[in-house]
Amino acid sequence: MPKYVDEAFVVLVHFPIDNGAPQRESFVVGCSTREEAEAKIRGLYPGEPNIKLFASRLTANETKGLKLTAGEFRSWQ
């Protein structure tokens, strides 16, 4: 049985666009620090130096329901 994490973050990603509102994506990441969550998602976009990341910790109950393993990330709706 996999070991699920007790801590997770939602990371919002904003891509600046010259004409219009930024494109947005969001992910949930199973990890213990904001820095780790942001680094994991930033690694998905190595060619996008101008993206902005905003990470927010989930509560223990929210995290438990997601059943994430360490370092796992998923798209967040």
DSSP 40-73: HHHTT-TT-TT-EEEEEEPPHHHHHHH-PBTT-E
Q: Please, what is the Cα angle at 25 between 15 and 7, to 5 degrees? A: 120
Positions of the chain with pLDDT under 70: none
What pLDDT does 50 receive?
87
Report yes or no: 3 and 67 within 8 Å, Cβ to Cβ.
no
| C-alpha span between 65 and 43 (Å, rounded) | 26
- The whole-model pTM stands at 0.88
What pLDDT does 26 receive?
97
